[in-house]
Amino acid sequence: MLFFLMAPILAIVPLSFSSSTYLTYPLPGLSLRWYEDFLGSARWMNALKNSMIIGVASAVLSMVLGTLASLGLAQWKSKWKPLVLAVVLSPMVVPVVITAVGVYFFFAPLGLTGNYLGLILVHTALATPFVVITVSATLQSFDMTLARAAASLGAPPLLTFRKVILPLILPGLASGALFAFATSFDEVVTVLFLAGPEQRTLPREMFSGIRENISPTITAVAVVLTVISVCMLSTLELLRRRNERLKGNAG
């Protein structure tokens, strides 16, 4: 926690190293040197690219699967519904290290370790519950008679979803997609187990840097991630307010 609180300060200070590779103080001044080191490093840029590829792919898959699961659970009346919902949300409860170990032993014989597909699949499994929660919460205020009215007028199911259901659940869907992306973008445990040298993500690179050599570039990366998180939270707040306005208009 102290590391991330100090990150905005350390990232703009040109820390120097002594001959024994220790950080030296007092700090001489302010500089953007470490941001330049981050943006100009092929290693960091490749890690950022991997995080974006895996994060976006996982968010899209989670959005599709989570929306389908939420729509199905919203209309399903059965005594088994709580059990199915618990299974769907279980990745949020099970410790990530247990999930990572189990997925590794399951994926290894299938050749899904050391490639993008395996990481995208496991990140999708970890992120889908967030989409299910946000979309299900939005569907609670959705009037299903609107969908039935569209169907009674001859609209096929796909058209009903695209023209009636999707516009009303879009704020919840977008919020779930942002949560899914953030979950994948910040995940490091499963990456440690499943990623190969070509799939090193940004959190994995930061983890290695903290363990192997403490570089001020890591604090610059931490500041960038903090800014991204603030932007995502601001977007979620805007979506929440839009959803509240839609509920007020519907009421």
| 201 Cβ neighbours under 8 A, 6+ residues apart | 47, 50, 51, 54, 185, 187, 188, 191, 195
If DSSP codes are grouped into helix, strand and coil, which group holds residue 234?
helix
**Does residue 155 lie within any of the structural domains?**
yes
Q: How many residues does the chain have?
A: 251
Structure confidence at residue 19 (pLDDT): 38
At residue 115, does pLDDT exceed 50? yes
The structural domain count of the chain equals 1
18 located within any domain: no
Average pLDDT score over residue span 136-162: 83
Q: At residue 214, what are phi and psi to the nearest 5 degrees?
A: -80, 110
Query: What separation, in Å, do the N-terminal and C-terminal C-alpha atoms of the chain show?
Result: 44
pLDDT at 129: 93
Q: What percent of the chain has pLDDT over 90?
A: 22
* 161 assigned to some structural domain: yes
User: Does 229 fall in a domain?
Assistant: yes
Contact present, 189 and 96 (Cβ < 8 Å): yes
Residue 50, domain member (yes or no) = yes
pLDDT digits (tens, 9 = 90+) for 81-97: 889 888 889 898 889 99
Q: Which pLDDT value is given to residue 196?
A: 84
- 100 neighbors 189 (Cβ within 8 angstroms): yes
* Pick from 3-12, 93-102, 150-159, 200-209: least confident: 3-12
Q: What is the CATH number of the domain that holds 173?
A: 1.10.3720.10
Phi then psi dihedrals of residue 146, to 5 deg: -65, -40
Please state, in angstroms and rounded to a whole number, the distance separating the CA atoms of residues 54 and 111: 18
The answer to whether residue 1 is domain-embedded is no
Domain that holds residue 189: 28-249
**Cα separation values, 117 from 120, 199, 221, 232, 243, Å:** 5, 10, 26, 25, 34
